[in-house]
């Protein structure tokens, strides 16, 4: 006789619907408190001071040399993701984390409706790095900030950053920045995985014994996971044009 597949390691307990609903509603109290706490943190973030940044900080874009001010595209605010880059390396060797996070910011019209521009400031050369954007099929505005990284990072040693800027006329101000797990807000897949029974399946997660684990899924078979669908679609990952 086959064992019951709903019991044993790696399976939540099976209960009747009334009991299950009661458990969900009990958790909902914590979820609502978490939401309100997030609202309070966002309110504090809106009250932060700001620091001026040289609006003429040079970037390189599709039309050649440009500036940080121009990256606003005339809008009042700019959200910039600082994409890591490994010079001279193949697409397979590029940063899986940046590919994971930056690749999930796709629909830009909602930013534009709020007078906000989203753009990537890549730490590598423009021609090579924009070829990676095109290989991935992303449509976000893309600039090389290679020559200005020391200025834009302003002493911060983080290899990737998410930065918010505000423009007043011809002047630019930095209002907020984050790195590490702070950039998880860019990845809705994390939020959706968090509500599943098995979560992200990361080793650090607090999960019951027997739950699937084994580390992240940003890289599969030697390259960033999202690249495989591009290769199957026939795209070349040659970033040099050779």
Q: Quick: pLDDT tens for 37-65.
A: 999 999 999 999 999 999 999 999 999 99
Domain 48-183: assigned CATH number: 3.40.30.10
H/E stretch holding 40: helix 17-46
> What pLDDT sits at residue 217?
87
Neighbouring residues of 126: CB distance < 8 A, sequence distance ≥ 6: 60, 61, 142, 143, 144, 146
User: What pLDDT, in 10s, does the model give residues 126-151?
Assistant: 999 999 999 999 999 999 999 999 99
Rounded to the nearest angstrom, the gap between the alpha carbon of residue 69 and the centroid of all alpha carbons in its chain is: 23
Long-range contacts for 200-205 (Cβ within 8 Å, ≥24 apart)? none
Residue 192 has pLDDT above 60, yes or no: yes
pLDDT at 115 over 60: yes
Higher pLDDT: 133 or 3? It is 133
144 touches 132 (CB < 8 A): no
Domain segments of the chain as ranges: 48-183
* 136 burial via Cβ count (<10 Å: 0-12, 13-18, 19+): buried
Residue 86 has pLDDT above 60, yes or no: yes
4, pLDDT greater than 90: no
**Residue 8 — very low, low, confident or very high, per pLDDT cuts 50/70/90?**
low
The mean per-residue pLDDT over the stretch 91-97 comes to 96
**pLDDT: is 5 or 217 the higher one?**
217
**Rounded Cα distance, 94 and 92, in Å:** 6
Burial class (CB within 10 angstroms; exposed 0-12, middle 13-18, buried 19+) of 239: buried
Q: Which of 161, 108, 106 is nearest to 138 (CA)?
A: 106
pLDDT in the model for residue 1: 45
The per-residue pLDDT of the chain, averaged, comes to: 94
Q: What is residue 242's predicted lDDT score, i.e. its pLDDT?
A: 56
- Predicted local distance difference test score (pLDDT) of residue 62: 97
For residues 92-119, b (16+ Cβ closer than 10 Å) or e, as one string? eebbbbbbbbbbebeeeeebeeeebbbb
What is the average pLDDT across 185-211?
A: 94
CA atoms within 13 A on the CB side of 196: 11
């Amino acid at each position: 006789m086959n064992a019951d597949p709903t019991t044993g390691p790696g399976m939540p307990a099976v209960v009747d619907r009334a009991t299950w609903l009661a458990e969900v509603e009990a958790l909902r109290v914590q979820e609502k408190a978490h939401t309100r706490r997030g609202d309070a943190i966002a309110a504090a973030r809106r009250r932060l001071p700001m620091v001026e940044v040289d609006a003429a900080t040079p970037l390189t874009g599709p039309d050649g040399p440009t500036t940080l001010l121009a990256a606003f595209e005339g809008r009042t605010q700019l959200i910039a993701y600082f994409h890591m880059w490994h010079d001279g390396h193949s697409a397979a060797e590029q940063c899986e984390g940046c590919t994971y996070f930056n690749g999930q910011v796709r629909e830009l019209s909602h930013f534009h409706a709020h007078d906000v521009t989203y753009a990537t400031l890549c730490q590598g050369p423009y021609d090579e790095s924009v070829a990676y954007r095109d290989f991935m099929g992303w449509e976000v505005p893309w600039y090389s900030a290679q020559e200005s990284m020391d200025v834009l990072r302003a002493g911060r040693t983080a290899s990737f950053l998410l930065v918010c800027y505000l423009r007043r006329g011809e002047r630019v101000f930095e209002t907020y920045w984050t790195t590490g797990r702070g950039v998880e807000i860019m990845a809705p897949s994390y939020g959706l995985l968090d509500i599943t029974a098995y979560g992200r399946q990361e080793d650090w997660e607090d999960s019951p014994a027997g739950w699937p684990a084994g580390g992240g899924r940003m890289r599969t078979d030697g390259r960033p996971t999202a690249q495989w669908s591009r290769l199957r679609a026939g795209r070349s990952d040659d970033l040099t044009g050779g």
